[in-house]
Amino acid sequence: MADKEKWILGRKVGMTQVFDDQGRSCVVTVLRAGPCVVVQKRTPIRDGYSAVQVGFEDARTHKVNKPKAGHFARAKVRPLRILREFRCPDSGLYEPGEEIKADVFAPGDAVDVTGISKGKGFAGAIKRWGFSRGPMAHGSKYHRRVGSLQSREAARVFKGRKMPGRMGGAKVTAQNLSVVKVDPEHNLLVLEGAVPGPRGGLVTVKAGRWGRRSGR
Q: Per-10-residue mean pLDDT for the chain, 216 residues long?
A: 74 89 87 87 85 86 86 85 85 81 87 92 93 85 83 83 92 90 88 91 83 50
Who's near 69: CB < 8 A, 6+ residues apart?
61, 79
Fold (CATH) for 7-120+167-212: Elongation Factor Tu (Ef-tu); domain 3 (2.40.30)
Residue 3 pLDDT: 65
- Please report how many Cα atoms fall inside a 13 Å half-sphere around the Cα of residue 175, on the Cβ side: 3
Residue 215 pLDDT: 47
Q: In what order do the strands lie in the sheet with 99-100?
A: 80-87, 51-58, 36-42, 99-100
Residue 80 pLDDT: 87
Cis check for the bond before 184: say yes or no (omega within 30 of 0): no
- Cite the residue boundaries of each domain of the chain with CATH code 2.40.30.10: 7-120+167-212
Q: In whole angstroms, what is the distance from residue 92 CA to residue 78 CA?
A: 21
Question: Strand 121-123 to strand 99-100: parallel, antiparallel, or no bridges (unpaired)?
Answer: unpaired
Residue 62 pLDDT: 86
Residue 57 pLDDT: 84
